[in-house]
Amino acid sequence: QVQLAESGGGLVQDGGSLRLSCAASGRTFTFSRHGMGWFRQAPGKEREFVAGISWSGGTAYADSEKGRFTISTDTAKNTMYLQMNSLKPEDTAVYHCAATTTLWITRIPSDYDYWGQGTQVIVSS
């Protein structure tokens, strides 16, 4: 079993920055055995892929996040991060981290086996 816990959300102004964290735990969890992803869900909208990182450190981003967001992991801390810069009001959503036993990056939510409870990000205009 894998447990994921997000933190770092909050209220920020248009153009500001936030860093989200996802602490992973569980007897079987290692980044070398799991692909990881960040998703977000705004009210009334479907959950959408934001960024992903493979077991080998390869990364992928949604087109709207390229150049603004950076995904990374700290294996010593078993923690994944999402650095978000130049935030826009349309980035407002609940952000979830997720883990999959699929080792490559997948943008499909149903491919992920474990999910965190989410952290709220609100970007004010």
pLDDT in tens, 19-65: 999 999 998 888 888 899 999 999 999 999 999 999 999 999 998 88
Distance of CA 10 to the CA centre of its chain: 15
Whether the Cβ atoms of residue 116 and residue 6 lie closer than 8 Å to each other? yes
Task: Determine the pLDDT at residue 104.
Answer: 84
Whether the Cβ atoms of residue 55 and residue 73 lie closer than 8 Å to each other? no
Q: What are phi and psi of 110, to 5 degrees?
A: -70, -10
Contacts of 12 (CB under 8 A, 6+ apart): 18, 87, 121, 122, 123, 124
Cα–Cα distance, 53 to 39 (Å, whole number):
12
- The pLDDT tens digits of the residues spanning 79-92 come to 999 999 999 999 99
Instruction: Return the percentage of the chain with pLDDT > 90, whole number.
Output: 85
